[in-house]
């Protein structure tokens, strides 16, 4: 329970799910992120757009504790990620381009392994539950390697959900999927889109991104160049807005 100081103007009960202050990340001489400030509330869904190289993946890697910032602070559920990353990882998960799955093991074995790593109780039940949510219950004992890329991505989402995280990061999950799989993915993402769960997703898919997000952020060259809530955006003209802020366009 936080005790308010004289200077705080925010209400006592607001703990941001994701709080980023002055985040910078450099790789040698390459400055990947500069002065990122971002606050995401509990249950909010934020979509991050940006061209390749804008720093979306770098940002998500840092937020999911895979990478360390060069400077600045990141707090998840009010806790600084530097303090006890192991404990924070219980509540977060990441879905990326790579599936993090073992192709030579079955879906069941993969989920069981990750379930054990997350100390998931009643593991068997949970495995069946997450698998039915991604509509792959019938493939439980198939080797991951024989599944299509779209199905593998869904298993990866099941892996990410097995411990019921309160914050989920998604890094361009639709990459490499055919249109049918993208539609399936959208449905799956809608099903994990619950009010208690905070989601931050990076995507190239402008339409889907606006659909799913309460708020939209555009990243370009390592900086946030645009932020708006969904109400403020006109879907039709967003394409132009995006091109304007990232200097891209046909």
Partner 1 sequence: MNGSGALRNYVLVGLGFALMVAALYMVFIYVPTDKETGAVQRIFYFHVPLAWIGFLAFLVVFVCSILYLMKRAVKWDTIASASAEVGVVFTSLVLVTGSVWAKAAWGIWWTWDARLTATLVLWFTYVAYLLLRSYVTEDSQRARLSAVLGIVGFIDVPVVALAVMLWRTQHPGAIIFEGGLVPSMLFTLVVCIVAFTVLYIMLVVQSTRFRNMEADIRNMKNTQAD
Partner 2 sequence: MKGSLSKVLAIFWKDILLEIRTKEIVTSVLVFALLVVVIFNFAFEPETAAMNLVAPGILWVAFTFAGVLGLNRVFAVERENSRLAGLLLCPVDHMTIYWGKLLGSFTFMLAIEIIITPIFLVLLNLPLFLPRLVLIVVLATLGFTSVGTLFSALAVNIKARDIMLPILFLPVVVPVIIAAVEATALVLQGSPWGDMLTWLQIMIAFDIIYLVVATLVFQYVVEG
Q: Is 29 in the site for partner 1 (CB under 8 A)?
A: yes
CB 44, min distance to partner 2, A: 22
Q: Pick from 8, 12, 22, 27: which binds partner 1 (CB under 8 A)?
A: 27
Partner from partner 1, partner 2, none binding residue 22, C-beta < 5-8 Å depending on class: none
Give Cα separations from 227 to 15, 53, 66, 115, 231 (angstroms).
Answer: 20, 19, 25, 36, 12
Q: Is 91 in the site for partner 1 (CB under 8 A)?
A: no
Stretch that binds partner 1, among 10-18, 28-36, 72-80, 183-191 (CB under 8 A): 28-36
> What distance separates the 2 farthest-apart alpha carbons in the chain?
60
CB 57, min distance to partner 1, A: 15
Q: Which is nearer to partner 1, 27 or 73 (CB)?
A: 27
- What is the helix (H) or strand (E) element at residue 156, kind and residue range? helix 149-161
Q: What are the φ and ψ backbone dihedral angles of 79, each rounded to 5 degrees?
A: -105, 130
Kindly report the CA angle at 68 between 64 and 73, in degrees rounded to 5?
85
Give Cα separations from 59 to 134, 183, 192, 250 (angstroms).
Answer: 27, 26, 22, 27
Number of residues forming the site for partner 1 (CB under 8 A)? 4
Binding site for partner 1 (CB under 8 A): 27-29, 31
């Amino acid at each position: 329970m936080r005790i308010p100081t004289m200077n705080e103007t925010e209400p006592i009960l607001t703990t941001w799910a994701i709080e980023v202050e002055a985040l910078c990340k450099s790789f040698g001489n390459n400055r990947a992120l500069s002065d990122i400030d971002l606050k995401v509330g509990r249950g909010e869904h934020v979509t991050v757009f940006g061209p390749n190289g804008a720093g979306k993946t770098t940002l998500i890697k840092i937020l999911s504790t895979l990478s360390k910032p060069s400077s600045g602070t990141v707090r998840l559920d009010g806790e600084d990620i530097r303090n006890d990353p192991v404990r924070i990882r219980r509540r977060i998960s990441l879905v990326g381009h790579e599936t993090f799955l073992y192709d030579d093991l079955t879906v069941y074995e993969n989920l069981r392994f990750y379930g054990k790593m997350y100390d998931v109780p009643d593991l068997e039940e949970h495995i069946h539950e997450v698998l039915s949510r991604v509509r792959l219950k019938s493939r439980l004992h198939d080797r991951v390697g024989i599944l299509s890329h779209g199905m593998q991505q869904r298993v990866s989402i099941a892996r990410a959900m097995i411990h019921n995280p309160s914050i989920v990061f998604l890094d361009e999950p639709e990459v490499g999927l055919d249109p049918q799989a993208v539609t399936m993915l959208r449905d799956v993402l809608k099903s994990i889109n619950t009010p208690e769960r905070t989601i931050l997703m990076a995507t190239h898919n402008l339409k889907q991104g606006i659909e799913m997000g309460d708020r939209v952020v555009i990243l370009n060259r390592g900086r946030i160049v645009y932020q708006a809530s969904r109400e403020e955006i006109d879907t039709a003209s967003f394409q132009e807005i995006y091109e304007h802020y990232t200097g891209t366009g046909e």
